[in-house]
Amino acid sequence: MASTGRKQEAFSLFISDLHLCDSRPAITGQFLRFLQQQAAQAEALYILGDFFEYWAGDDDLSHHQPILQALRALSAQGIRIYFMHGNRDFLAGEAFAAAAGLTILPDPTLLTLYGKQVLLSHGDALCTDDIAYQAFRQQVRAPIWQQAFLQQPLSVRKAQIEALRQRSEQEKSGKQESIMDVNAEAVTNLLRQYDYPELLIHGHTHRPALHPLEVDGHRIDRWVLGDWYEQGSCLVLDQNGVRNQPLD
Ligand code: LP5
Ligand code: MN
């Protein structure tokens, strides 16, 4: 039988920095609608970190059931879902991945999508001027530290995370804005290391923008994803390239 409608072009979606939590139920609602509407039409969804306000360990899965169920339902429809750790949810592990029907990607990850080399990252590792944060990052990303942290009871971990969140907010208020952005040389080094991909997509800085770069004669677009504090935001990638898609 001849098809009546024009087949919609295949596309992938990229989001980050939703910071889902109980105290902002509207964002969770918007995300669940996003899954049913935009994501259901995509071939893949890439969640590039800080999906949750914080993740205390996979033994807290039951806390996030509606979100995990919705992701699993999308995955069951054949939409591939990928997740990269952010600085707030780097403890999300394989039990989380199984419950959400997704695949965890290392940071950074280089992919070929729609004929383009695309480098994906959360973005925090590029903020190399933030010395205090980078020292902290190195400590908590060490497997031995994570093992010891995860051995503590969930309630103890949550109390420590709460203390850390307060300390982080306090320290951030004393940091210069420029320190909390990516370092240009760190970006250049990463792009050289990955052999000049056409696209770099990352989040973390909450400064959504397109930065066209030229590195050693190669044109590279650095796309920064927006957070979901005021409204949802996502990037769409298809054969024609990247475009920004603000959500209602
Ligand atoms: O997330 P964002 O953008 O607001 O801020 C980040 C950096 N802050 C963080 C901390 C998280 O926001 C808090 C929640 C994380 C939950 C992780 C769970 C497991 C770890 C639990 C450990 C107890 O990532 C912020 C950057 C900012 O991005 C911009 O790039 O500046 O970094 C900081 O503010 C960190 C401080 O500069 C250094 C903190 C040293 C803390 C030392 C150990 C404290 C242990 C406390 C508990 C006992
Ligand atoms: Mn982040």
CB atoms within 10 A of CB 16: 31
In the reported structure, the alpha carbon of residue 93 is separated from the centroid of ligand 1 by a whole-number distance in angstroms of: 19
Q: Is 5 a residue whose pLDDT tops 60? A: no
Q: Which phi and psi angles does 99 have, rounded to 5°?
A: -65, -30
Per residue in 33-58, pLDDT (tens digit) is: 999 999 999 999 999 999 999 999 99
Cα torsion through 129, 218, 239, 15, rounded to 10:
0
Question: What superfamily does domain 12-245 belong to in CATH?
Answer: Metallo-dependent phosphatases (3.60.21.10)
Q: Is 133 a residue whose pLDDT tops 50? A: yes
| 186 and 104 Cβ atoms separated by less than 8 Å | no
* Rounded mean pLDDT, 155-159: 98
Mutate to test the pocket of ligand 1, among 53, 96, 131, 136 (most ligand atoms within 8 A of CB): 136
Nearest-CA residue for atom 5 of ligand 1: 168
> Which ligand has the minimum distance to the alpha carbon of residue 50?
2
* Rounded mean pLDDT, 139-163: 98
- Give the SS3 label for residue 180: helix
pLDDT recorded at residue 7: 62
pLDDT recorded at residue 248: 76
215 Cβ closer than 6 Å to some ligand 1 atom: no
Nearest-CA residue for atom 17 of ligand 1: 88
pLDDT recorded at residue 38: 96
Give, for 193, the enclosing helix (H) or strand (E).
Answer: helix 184-193
pLDDT recorded at residue 56: 98
pLDDT recorded at residue 246: 83
In the reported structure, the alpha carbon of residue 168 is separated from the centroid of ligand 1 by a whole-number distance in angstroms of: 5
Beta bridge partners of residue 15, listed in sequence order: 47
- Per domain, the residue ranges of the chain are 12-245
Give the confidence band of 3 by pLDDT, cuts at 50, 70, 90: very low
Nearest-CA residue for atom 35 of ligand 1: 133
Per residue in 90-117, pLDDT (tens digit) is: 999 999 999 999 999 999 999 999 999 9
Whole-angstrom distance, CA of residue 131 vs CA of residue 143: 21
pLDDT recorded at residue 8: 77
Ligand 1 nearest-atom number relative to CA 135: 38
Give the confidence band of 174 by pLDDT, cuts at 50, 70, 90: very high
Alpha helices in 35-177 (DSSP H): 40-41, 65-76, 94-100, 131-140, 143-150, 154-173
Nearest-CA residue for atom 47 of ligand 1: 160
